[in-house]
Amino acid sequence: MKKLFWFILSLVLLVSCNYALATGSDNLLQHSRPFKVASHGPIQNLLAIPTASSSFLLPEDQFFFDIQVDVANNFTHSQEGQESVWFDGENTVIKLGFLKGLGTNWQIGIEFPWIYMGGGSTDRIIQDWHSFWGLPDGNREFVENDQLKYYYENKADRGVKVDLHQSNSGIGDMRIRVSRSLFRGFGRAFSFQSQLKLPTGDSDFLRGSGSTDLALGLAFADANSGKDFRLNYFVNGGLQWLGRGEILDTIRREVVAYANTGITWKALENTYVKLQVDSHTAGYESQLSELGESVRLVIGGSVRLFGQWILNLAISEDLRVGSTSDVTFTINLGFLSSE
């Protein structure tokens, strides 16, 4: 997908240049937040692994609000031993997020997702892209477009475990995040991060796992080492403890490790180019890549539109084939209050 990624990145830059303001200055640390892209694979989505987040926490008198739309196209099928899987569909996820600084070292956040699962409205677009660039498409051309089929069978564990063909929509699992700054200075920051995932989504329609999960991690960012090149990089990592759920609970692992890393380049006064890699270990005891460890590449950019409004555009690709959605398109509009 190299050619495709660089083409999309060029489009992001062109769009950003057209909208960027000619005057004013941005705070590199606050306006170069990592992409909040989650795994939207039908089963991996249930793990609710924490998305990448900034280690530069908001001060007490500042808040951040954003709305994000992810369109994730899923198409994969495989069989290993007594397990088989067929994922063909599309998830559209709209997320409302809010962050608020508390005191001098604390930050609290909350996120509400709304999920629609249906046929792949972007199937034809993705097929055309694969054809244009001569890329493999996993035999998409032999399957009818705009279909929904999320199916998983494990003959060693009482047969069919997931079988969803009906389009549906509703709220997903809510997330609450609490962070504490451990160090901030010299253009660097180090913070403790936690996430509590609550079972507010309907597990019958794969919009939630039915479990309460807790994640604890650390985040580091450095905007000083690469300041001469207008670069900022970050590293996040941690562990998530999975509670007892309602889907695939017999093969669900108790602990999952996750890690994110990325780099941001301030291309123009109000324009940033971002590259990010998200990963996590397997959340299920399975031989299938669709239920195994996941690695995802995210590229895109952000632009300050006007005032404190920030637009992010991104495209994600599964580096470990089948481990997450084939392609995810993301648009995020956020507002950062003045200090």
pLDDT bucket at 29, cuts 50 / 70 / 90: low
Question: Do residues 216 and 249 lie in contact, with contact meaning Cβ atoms separated by under 8 Å?
Answer: no
The full set of domain ranges for the chain reads 2-336
Least confident of 5-19, 142-156, 292-306: 5-19
* pLDDT value of residue 142: 60
Which homologous superfamily is 2-336 in? Answer: monomeric porin ompg (2.40.160.40)
Q: What is the pLDDT of residue 337?
A: 87
* Residues in Cβ contact with 72 at an 8 Å cutoff, skipping those fewer than 6 apart: 40, 41, 90, 91, 92, 93, 325, 327, 328, 329
| pLDDT in the model for residue 311 | 94
pLDDT in tens, 234-284: 999 999 999 998 889 889 999 999 999 999 998 888 889 999 999 999 999
pLDDT digits (tens, 9 = 90+) for 298-322: 999 999 888 789 999 999 988 888 7
pLDDT digits (tens, 9 = 90+) for 216-243: 999 999 988 888 888 889 999 999 999 9
Mean pLDDT of the chain: 85
